[in-house]
Structure 1
């Protein structure tokens, strides 16, 4: 058990003769032998890297620079006694802990392992005997324990059945290509509980109960959906802190989906379980079960929580019973609601109170549409038919709630919420609250157009309900103000101090005044109304490509999926002089912004002119330009489009909305003729957010694209490439912009060269073991070429590594050995400083033991692993030394935003210090 802390010369006529569309160009003479620059000490080091865990050198301590969250946070776990201790599990394979009440966050993952541990946590529970002891369950079905309040974790057990038992190998390329993406594989478990009277005793429930995106109940499917990547029909029990487990399935339906297990704090023999088959009880510590819930109209629980006063022994359960919809002439009635039990769940009383509302008094078109979607789904008739069949809006209707939380200090303070984006529900606001035990309820989390308009102030006043917007956001404030509560809330929790937490859209919110106001707690604004932010370290942002040399000394441009483009702001910070302040210059902060950026470039003669492209979401396939430093943006051309046809998992062609575009990379501008621009469309985008195959473009295409009129028109130029070759990155020769190099992966991968700006391409001969080139980089000071090699799905260990050439690609020398090197770049300030990025292959039988980042300060003679504090250490998308400061490094995480790292701490100087 390990505890982890968290250039080839050829004539133009020869190329022209050899270039035939769709065929490979004959290569230069083969390189018979590749010299090695790997010293004997490094040979031993690389062997160790492949076979044993190596701890990171503390020479670099990475700082997550955010922005905070900016992705969906699935869960928040609050310590039952210490309000300073909390954990969150956003959806991009990261997990964070805070021990200062959320003022700062740190990754709780092991930055020195394969990237599998705790990459998406599903539950964290705490001992009631020992406040330092905690247990966690992740979506692999793996269980962990911590003895220091979650600062460090150790893996105890793998509880899920093996992948192969179910015929699915997530690392099998064929299974992958059929659609078994890594976020959809694994026999998932859903809930973890610790006996409050004995923390040696644990329970785990099978299922995927909380998957609100996929698990929608209806009249035809009262038990929800059965998902291929979850396991069902049993619970597990351990009496020795997770060392051994007993599987209990007798009497359970095969599709039992467990949502919550609560051990009665007054009697450990009594265990209460919420499931898709109702509320169940065991009176012999989980061995045998019965269904019993007197007073619940449906016994279809959506959430279960409790209040316990240890001093008085008062134990009260609270439950949401699934809302059901019933035809009533031309309108609809509802049943279900909120219930309370004072006898440990044997009988229940309705505390729904006045929670139902008059939809006919709510002039909110978005909610009317969501209402018809909800009843259409429940009745199985669809939205349009529901609108035609039930045109009269109901005057007393309940939405579908899915979360409930109680103030641990006040049994009468109750909160309920729903997720209007992902669940089939509706309703004004994001959360409702009662201060009188359920007699009366108010909407307490309100934002967006409807509440800002104050349209129905009279109706809400009749309910004694405020009608103003009361939720604060960070950089997405303008975007959220312009929308109709469309993003959804994911969680609802109350801590030991009575502070309430939500996660609306892609931010975490806290209320310290019982829901009167809500503040985002992910970012700190450097000054009021500045729109300059410093993240708190809990970023869930899909970090993409970074452009560091931007023509402006202190401006670095950082791109992202879903949250546009950010620029650094050189702002001194007294509390942390090395903190990086950021301003969003494209995305939610703009009207009609571009969100998922795939590539970026700056005009070589005018740093205020910038170009960006997106492969999904708003403006995908467009070339977008700003001529005023990012203040305003316009689309200047449509470069890519896709058809509505796509292949389903059975290989059949089906119709659907236009799909995701190819991933565009390496947007370059010819410095000698800025009207000439280039980029590549990647066929196999293995490091993108979604690795699903893209649809074949109907405009544009895979491969190399070129414009000669400043980006207004584009053509595909693939003469010399195999049809299935995937071009990943480009590099311009710094001495001759007619010469371009292309790194290619997949079939017929390798390194390609053009001497006529892409009209014709020729494959460069490389050492015979190289089958795929992931990146090409040319040092502008030394003109040395660096390539990064290794395949993501197939291949062997010898294929991968970092190679250099000092003679334009005639000879190559390997100087770093790893199965898959994604990128290597030198410092523009000091070419002796090299930053290298390694990844993990998608192979169960061949895993590199030490993925992540490596630093050399002596031109590659010696290396240090430098993953400390990286949350996505196995999924670094981009990593570069700073162009002005030799002590500064930058990195971009697949789902954890961006990072800055200071070599040897850089004397605690700010990032914008040039030296």
Structure 2
């Protein structure tokens, strides 16, 4: 009889007290323990419903870029079919290729989690994949995205099933039994910024149906690593990491098991201890279960000597440091790295991940550093192997074959690092901020450790080289790009910044960059500090005036050559709960230059109405969270909008506010939104009733100043939105995501609907922008597909229905048409201008597609007996020289 049937029958005759005691014992053992659901599950359901029901179905167009890639922290290769590779980006999802990286597809979209912790293919069946959600890098930058637990796929990522550990939030490592894919261990780091008990090491014996907590220290300490011995899976090693409240503690340590992970013993003999032991990585010899290595972030040492490698040859009973001198691979930032790997065929060959990729052939006694020659899928100013190594994969049947993920993306080598291929052809940029040059529609964006790039607002086409380029790049082929500003009078002057307020002024005409980082005047006896992402802007009233926000607001009227402090110390609030480090955002009224705003990382909001001469704090009625976005009104001088996030404090609620009196009183306008972190809010520059908001999973729009919200658009994955900007000549909304690059959509249909007060009960067909025909090469007469742009047909339907869109020439001849099912609300059809497709068996046939000719056309939108019309111009294409240069 099945166990649960047997138990059910016995319950009819067992005493109630015994039944309760039995269930308490089972529950406390972890077998039946049901973790509380992550709040991101409920907010995901709200997001999904709003996305399905929205009437604002305007198309999001992906602009890339790919040239500078993004932080790759998961790499997996199917060793039975090496052309199949997987790459995970912390906030950009999981991507898969089956053709050696020529093309990629995202395989973990529209799930309840967008932060990725770890993923592993089952050694015995590569079609079985376990994926743990929730980033495990404790970066206080408002974009370390928590997760909703574990997922499993049995079809190589085609479909996914959620399998528990709902309260894990951050998963560091997954380890699958070498021969039984249903036995899995998961190292759960837990909540990064608060205490929680659902952390430590978990095991499932039935493929994720049930879980038990097999190693636990306390509510401050999570599990970071777990490893099987490939030759004897009964032998295992694991590490715990005291991750709260800091990045180290006395409870971090190495554990060993000899019974397949049922019981664990702390390893102490020879390993360092003390109050500052940080992250610990582990690896085990493929042939000897008693031989293992531990790479430890020992912060009891000097910062530049924190990295230490230890080895055991007796199953963890004793450990010895392998090197006599300092091992300088992560100077005080080991929380980012500390992974170690061993050659499957030679357990004296060790790889250690830090800022650089360290390599030892003598069991860790001495090290060299792997660099190598790098070839890129997209040409780039970057030349070498990017720094900050996140994960390494070694082919167990061919150890010369390596796959590496780091802050610069995904790299593959077939000669153990002498040469690499960099797959910088995946649009997963982790953007912090964007700026648009309104004169020529060039977009500038700063990214996480992949510098600042600029490029055209053209649809991504991975068939061709990425046209985006670097504004700057550091000597290590990366660097954190933050805010960029373009001088509207002299476009050769570009201001850009890096982390912690490091601002630069670039003169492109002479290719010269100078530091303009502010310093406090000598008469202020205090320290000027900046958040990692430091806000600053170029005043719209004077192209030589800059404002720069730290704990003081700094102002320059000479392009950053000299600075004045024009505020008190914003970090010192009248509210003890709002004591802060520095500003999170600063802003100036677009209609009155005297009005300045500043908001801090703990919810203190400051206002000046006299260009900084005096300030008042207006922080009553708002949360004690990080103010990420201040949007002063374009229409009412005392109106201001503000968004804040609590993600750095494990507060995953939505905080959006409006004030009509410069913040003296605040009103929450978050009602109706998914209850999840919000990063940016913008007021429409043309219509005071329209607001746009960027949240954890996309963009939302309100046409009644925040009383009601709708999801905006189709075609953009659930991605954390970092910034929103308008290209005002055409009213495009450009969106920077932290993990999926940049997108745009055109807002004209919304403006046309509202400005003309069109009825929602009737159908409408909106104005069509002129669209250029592709450029045709003079030598061959063949179209240059880099220049293909799609025409966009936008319309409103009063209910879901079948419609036909057809194009007629000036003689009323139909040259193209398409049927489709429209939704209630705004709809769009994007057309590639191809009027005919044909094939041929002729050996030299080439013109498979025929494009529409330049000229004036009529477009008809038909449904039943109703037909609506718009004119449509197909214009001459851009110069081939501009196409060649990417713009």
State the match for 1:614 in structure 2: 498
1:501 and 1:509 in contact (8 A); partners too: no
Q: Match of 1:581, SS?
A: coil
RMSD (Å), alpha carbons: 6.1
State the match for 1:303 in structure 2: 283
State the match for 2:251 in structure 1: none
Q: Which residue among 605, 610, 614 is the counterpart of 2:489?
A: 605
Establish whether residue 547 from structure 1 lines up as the match of residue 435 from structure 2: yes
Establish whether residue 375 from structure 1 lines up as the match of residue 324 from structure 2: yes
Structure with the larger strand share: 2
State the match for 1:203 in structure 2: 184
Deviation of 1:63 after TM superposition, in Å, equals 3.7
Deviation of 1:79 after TM superposition, in Å, equals 2.9
Q: Which residue among 497, 506, 509 is the counterpart of 1:626?
A: 506
- 1:80-159 map, 5 Å: 80-91=79-90, 95-109=94-108, 111=110, 113=112, 117=113, 119-126=115-122, 128=124, 132-138=127-133, 142-158=149-165
- 1:844-867, Cα deviation, whole Å (9 max, x unpaired): xxxxxxx54213579878643259
Q: Which residue among 741, 744, 760 is the counterpart of 1:898?
A: 741
Instruction: Give the unaligned 5+ runs of structure 2.
Output: 1-41, 137-146, 190-194, 240-253, 267-279, 296-308, 316-320, 332-337, 747-827, 834-876
Q: Which residue among 871, 876, 880 is the counterpart of 2:725?
A: 880
- 1:173-222, Cα deviation, whole Å (9 max, x unpaired): xxxxxxxxxxxx96x664421463x54x31316588xxxxxxxxxxxxxx
State the match for 1:562 in structure 2: 449
Establish whether residue 776 from structure 1 lines up as the match of residue 630 from structure 2: yes
2:359 and 2:370 in contact (8 A); partners too: no
Q: Which residue among 731, 738, 752 is the counterpart of 2:607?
A: 752
Structure 2-normalised TM-score? 0.55
State the match for 1:669 in structure 2: 538
- 1:561-580 map, 5 Å: 561-569=448-456
1:586 and 1:593 in contact (8 A); partners too: no
Cα distance between partner residues in 2 of 1:714 and 1:373: 51
Deviation of 1:260 after TM superposition, in Å, equals 2.3
Deviation of 1:155 after TM superposition, in Å, equals 2.1
Cα distance between partner residues in 2 of 1:107 and 1:720: 45
Q: Match of 2:324, SS?
A: helix
1:124 and 1:192 in contact (8 A); partners too: yes
Deviation of 1:156 after TM superposition, in Å, equals 1.0
- 1:81-128, Cα deviation, whole Å (9 max, x unpaired): 444543333456854444554344455555564xxx362323423374
Deviation of 1:889 after TM superposition, in Å, equals 2.8
1:191 and 1:261 in contact (8 A); partners too: no
Structure 1 residues 281, 607: CA separation in 2 closer, same or farther (over 3 Å shift)? same
Establish whether residue 419 from structure 1 lines up as the match of residue 346 from structure 2: no
State the match for 2:701 in structure 1: 855
Establish whether residue 522 from structure 1 lines up as the match of residue 388 from structure 2: no
Cα distance between partner residues in 1 of 2:699 and 2:72: 26
1:302 and 1:319 in contact (8 A); partners too: no
Instruction: Give the unaligned 5+ runs of structure 1.
Output: 1-47, 164-184, 209-226, 292-299, 307-315, 325-334, 340-344, 347-371, 384-399, 407-411, 432-441, 448-468, 524-534, 647-657, 682-701, 840-850
Q: Which residue among 793, 801, 808 is the counterpart of 2:656?
A: 801
Cα distance between partner residues in 1 of 2:640 and 2:681: 7
Q: Which residue among 617, 642, 645 is the counterpart of 1:788?
A: 642
State the match for 1:537 in structure 2: 427
Q: Match of 1:54, SS?
A: helix
Cα distance between partner residues in 1 of 2:693 and 2:454: 24
Cα distance between partner residues in 1 of 2:281 and 2:606: 58
Structure 1 residues 887, 111: CA separation in 2 closer, same or farther (over 3 Å shift)? farther
2:634 and 2:685 in contact (8 A); partners too: yes
State the match for 1:712 in structure 2: 561
1:501 and 1:508 in contact (8 A); partners too: no
- 1:571-603, Cα deviation, whole Å (9 max, x unpaired): 7876669x9631111123xx6999334433222
- 1:115-158, Cα deviation, whole Å (9 max, x unpaired): xx3623234233746x6432223467933212432244332121
Q: Match of 1:242, SS?
A: coil
Total equivalences in the alignment = 624
- 1:105-254 map, 5 Å: 105-109=104-108, 111=110, 113=112, 117=113, 119-126=115-122, 128=124, 132-138=127-133, 142-158=149-165, 190-194=173-177, 196=179, 199=181, 201-204=182-185, 236-239=203-206, 241-245=207-211
Structure 1 residues 54, 422: CA separation in 2 closer, same or farther (over 3 Å shift)? same
Q: Match of 2:468, SS?
A: strand
Structure 1 residues 78, 554: CA separation in 2 closer, same or farther (over 3 Å shift)? same
Structure 1 residues 65, 748: CA separation in 2 closer, same or farther (over 3 Å shift)? closer
Cα distance between partner residues in 2 of 1:287 and 1:764: 56
State the match for 1:54 in structure 2: 48
State the match for 1:740 in structure 2: 595
Structure 1 residues 498, 257: CA separation in 2 closer, same or farther (over 3 Å shift)? closer
Structure 1 residues 814, 68: CA separation in 2 closer, same or farther (over 3 Å shift)? same
State the match for 1:837 in structure 2: 694
Q: Match of 2:86, SS?
A: strand
